[in-house]
Structure 1
Amino acid sequence: MVEQAVGPIVEALAAQAPNGWSQAVLHSRAGRRGSSVTGGYTVRGEYRNTGVPNPYRELMALGEALRMDRGWDPVSLELRCRPSGEYRLVVFHGAVTRVTGGGSGFHVILDGDYRLPQPGRHQQPGTAAPAGDPEPAAARFRAYLQRRAEILGHPEELPPPATPAAIDEAERRLGRRLPADLRALYLIADGDGVGYDHRYLFQGNAWLSLESMVAEHSDWSGGDRPWYGWDLEWDSVVFDTAPADTVRRCGAHPGWLRFATGHDGNFLAVDTDPARDGRPGQIIHTGRDYDQGPVYAEDSITSLLGMYLELLDQGAYEKAGDHIELLSPTSDPAPQRIIGEIPDEVPPTLQAIHINNTSDLVDLTPLTAATHLRLLHLNRSTTADLTPVRELPVESLRLTLTGGDLTPLEGHPRLTALALNTTAPVDLTPLRTTHQLRGLDLSGADVPDLTVLADLPDLRFLSLTARQWTALLDEGKVPPTLAAARLADADATFDEALALAARLGLDTDDALRATGTLQTADGDGSP
């Protein structure tokens, strides 16, 4: 089984190898949801991290065979081969995976069920009354349909109304009451689709039937957005919308009832569980393109319909066949962020800044004006003083520190992720009181005493080099709450990652290893 799958992969690696290659390395993750491939070739002593083929069918066949034989889904593998046809294959289940994206090394997943908490789950709830009103909402909706009919030259066909009993049953299945103004619309029509043909009444979004809305809610019943893996999630940030503190800072939430969609993974939703300054029944954008936070639209369906009527009255629309596109004023829905240098005037609404490739020391003092700053990344840039960070609500911090220390981070109430590089030894003791810290990357830092890590109260992700892991494990000071670990060395092998996993408590005895030599097409073992 293994040889049948490996043979074509080795042949593909040899066929696409550059001149002068001495070794090919292919890393893959394969399972019922598909496969991914990374790797490269060693050419004249230099490793090129690019160019390996993706033998999709063979990888999927190998993954399926191991799922049937060992119950592994997905599987992670490393295949190394040489021009002679010699190969070495190492396979394990998905608890040990190659880091993708901009990182290197391997992840070891110690708790596959753990997910980092969303900040919005702990926000103060709103107490204001709903802004929507069912009677004006129904009147505006009928006026909206009438104006559309005048523009199109005919009324639009809509489904029959939903019955009060059907709405009650939908609410039972949703576990939430619909806002009264949205309920009033369903008593006029059960969505805007007849068969598979929608009217797209909500500004390019199809209005879902009750049954479809319940189905969408069931798909998101856990109230969490998809998990994209530790390489993307460990230092991710959910930003605030504008106005601030109206919508919970979550990628998804069980109180968001998706009632309209653009069929692109994005939705309009009514928010039945707003944040402190929000109102129940407010309208938000959520879905695929809103992982970093929802976007506030209007305070209610009633207000949304009022805006639609105003746009029609202003002639702010385009007609294409039997469809009308409303042209609302353009705005940037993304949280305010800067990529580049710190500006002379820092906007107080700034939530994220990426300072890249600076040659001089970066003075962070001007950022104290950014009272909503959540993300501060100094990429290939250096600072000597973290004092300005003390008073900022920064949650994700990346930097290179030279000549300074971590004292300003002592007791920081918001910091959840820190990626630290240093040019001199640094003391981690101030982090003992940084109680929200969940993720820490020290693979680029000089840390004489790593044993402090055992005192971090709720650390879930830790990235270290092999040398650092060995020192920490030898001292028996691995943080007890870890859910994931990263072996950060760029040249780390799968065997080394499995050895780390074993020392961290995973049973890796059943890892599959296979070696062999495959003759090439001409039969002489040459490439």
Structure 2
Amino acid sequence: MSSSSLSSPTFPIHDFATWEPVLRLLRAANAESLAAPGGYVAGSVAQRGWTLPVRRLPAAGGAAGFAEMQAGMRAAQPVQDALAEAGIDRLLCVADMAPDGRTRLHLLDPGPAVEEGSGPYPGALVMVEGAVAEPWRRLPDSVPGAGPAPSVDLALLERTLRERLPGAVGATGAEIAAAEARLGVTLPDELKVLYGVTQARSAEQDDEELDDEELDDEELDDEDRDGVGHGEHESVSEVLGCELFSLDELYVADAPSRPCSWRFAATTAVVTTPDAAVQGLVGSPGWIAFGDSGYGDVLAIDLTPGPRGHVGQVIVLDHEQYIGAELVADSLTDILTQGFARSFRSRPWDRQPAVARVNVAALKSIRDAVDPALEVLEIGVWDDEPLSLAPLAALPRLRTLTASPDTLADPLETSRLTGLEFLELGARDWRLLLDAGAVPRTLSAAAIRAGDHHPLHIAALANELLALWDRPLITVTLLEGDLGPGEQETGR
């Protein structure tokens, strides 16, 4: 790990004075833990937030609590400003403070190969640049014989739209063709009919058009001005039951459009059951996002349906989920004539046999999890004898293993799992693998369960793993200063 000192700061972020208000606040809030042998405080500060061991919310009805919260915000602001100036999104920080005020502050910059973690600890280590978990690489299966729903009626769709949106101005054929060229996909006929009736122009576009036409303010009273450009957009929302994107806002809801951290992505699996109308994917090159529910959920036309679905069906991508979509209508024609019919079926991902969990409240042995379809095994809280991984050795699809500290009989058995792309272990298990030169080289990402280990110890361990793949390391900058004798400083 690299280090520098206060004597030659590169940015104000590396100036002890920038951190002094935060350090004083931390000392006042953690006097007892700092006074203990080996005591330290740790957390993280980002441009848009911070996680530090101080009270962030006021006590109910207490002015003192509000003062504490305000003190924290004031203390963190110089650091956040300095982060922005240095172009650094987030730093982890670890400080030890002597009773006489002498302070050592370690600033940890996770760098581009480390995802955001919890508090002062690194998140997942990305061993291969640009690598994503298998569900984010999965493409849709072909469904021979899939076609449009019987309810599709282009003439009825257009007639109903024009009746309910009188005076609407649709997009030209050239504008629709330009959208197709931008997306790299041919829009389905129903979507072409929809945009041929209304362009669903955004408020920003309408405001620009008003500026271009140089309408005189005196020629429009307030009521008229509110109606220009916005009335049609609102009517479209009422007719379709969603906020319709403009042609320029259409996008392909593929897997990259739903980014997710490795720690979550690696522990999920995509599964499409034989009776599914929608494929259980993260995203698809055939999901054309065209609207918003008003609550953050995205509406899309599905050109790659499941075994029981229809080409051109309407689906919704839940903003609280990273995987899958739900059927809301067989066609746009159905939406206009019958409305939404969202189906909340049980989600087929994140369950056996693709995903299994062994812990005191779930499966009671590794053998109970063994299945040729197993992709993800999570070993959690365990109060019995440590577990052997031997039963997993022959599984063809196992790609993720996470194990809580002290649950494995022999961590070296991970070397027999030849398809692992993600491995999460406790610090002691990783130490054993590193010392034995047995870290699985098939990994695309890894994670360390920190437990009660010192953040600097975990950072050093992470750097050993990153170095095996020649990835950018976590850098550490040491700042030293003197806060003077301790005193109660919260709320000053």
* Fold conserved between structures, TM > 0.5: yes
The 1-side partners of 2:333 and 2:145 are apart by 16
| Partner of residue 18, structure 2 | 5
Give CA-to-partner distance per residue, 1:266-301, whole Å, 9 cap, x none.
Answer: 221111222333222111012523423211112222
Using the alignment, how far apart are the partners of 1:207 and 1:265 within structure 2?
Answer: 13
Shift of residue 173, structure 1, vs aligned partner:
1.6
Shifted more, 396-405 versus 229-238: the winner is: 396-405
| CA distance in 1: counterparts of 2:151 and 2:195, whole angstroms | 11
RMSD: 3.7
1:396 to 1:183, Cα distance in 2 relative to 1, 3 A: farther
The amino acid that maps onto 2:266 is W
Residue 430 (1) aligns with residue 391 (2) = yes
1:416 alignment counterpart:
376
AA matched with 2:241: G
* Contact 1:442–1:463 under 8 Å retained in 2: yes
Percent identity over paired residues:
23
1:24 Cα deviation from its structure 2 partner: 5.7
Structure having the larger proportion of residues in helix: 2
Deviation at 1:116, TM superposition (A): 0.8
Are the aligned partners of 2:277 and 2:306 in contact in 1 as well (CA < 8 Å)?
yes
Confirm or deny: 8 A CA contact 1:462 1:485 kept in the other structure: yes
Matched, 1:59 2:90: no
Picking from 326, 351, 359, the partner of 1:399 is: 359
Which of residues 446, 451, 463 in structure 2 aligns to 1:502?
463
More strand, by proportion = 1
Query: For 1:504, what is the secondary structure of its paired residue?
Result: helix
Contact 1:461 1:483 in 2 (8 A): yes
Structure 1 residues 255-334: aligned runs within 5 Å: 255-286=286-317, 288-308=319-339, 333=344
Q: 1:60 to 1:18 in 2, by over 3 A?
A: same
Cα gap change, 1:5/1:515 in structure 2, threshold over 3 Å: closer, same or farther?
same
CA offsets 1:422-467 (integer angstroms, 9 cap, x no match): 4103211122223322322222443232222122223222222222
> 1:189 corresponds to which residue?
198
Runs of 5+ in structure 1 lacking a partner?
42-50, 149-154, 309-327, 337-350, 352-371, 377-391
Which of residues 229, 233, 239 is equivalent to 2:261? 229
Query: Amino acid of the residue matched to residue 268 of structure 2?
Result: S
Report the secondary structure of 1:433's partner residue: coil
Counterpart residue identity of residue 78, structure 2: E
Deviation at 1:496, TM superposition (A): 0.8
The amino acid that maps onto 1:185 is L
TM-score by length of 1: 0.69
Paired position in structure 1 for 2:479? 514
1:183, 1:415 → 2: CA distance?
40
Alignment of 1:25 onto 2:41: yes
1:487 to 442, 448, 451: 448
Q: Is the 1:121–1:250 contact (alpha carbons within 8 Å) kept by the matching residues of 2?
A: yes
Matched residues in 2 for 1:8 and 1:170: separation? 52
Contact 1:10 1:87 survives alignment (8 Å) = no
Change (3 A) 1:232 1:515: farther
Residue 9 of structure 1 contacts residue 58 of structure 1 at CA under 8 Å; is this kept in 2? no
Q: Which runs of 5+ in 2 are unaligned?
A: 1-11, 56-68, 207-228
SS of 2:392 mapped into structure 1: helix
Matched length: 422
Question: How many angstroms does 1:237 deviate by?
Answer: 4.8
Deviation at 1:180, TM superposition (A): 1.3
Q: Which amino acid aligns with 2:176?
A: I
SS in 1 for 2:128: coil
Structure 1 segment 353-368 matched on structure 2, within 5 A = none
Shift of the 467–132 alpha-carbon distance from structure 1 to 2, 3 Å rule, reads: closer
* Deviations, residues 291-330 of structure 1 (Å, cap 9, x unaligned): 232111122222222214xxxxxxxxxxxxxxxxxxx67x
Superposed displacement of residue 504, structure 1: 1.4
2:62 aligned residue: none
Choose between structure 1 and 2 for higher RCO, CA contacts under 8 A separated by at least 6 residues.
2
Q: Cα–Cα, structure 1 residues 419 and 171, in superposed 2: closer, same or farther, change >3 Å?
A: same
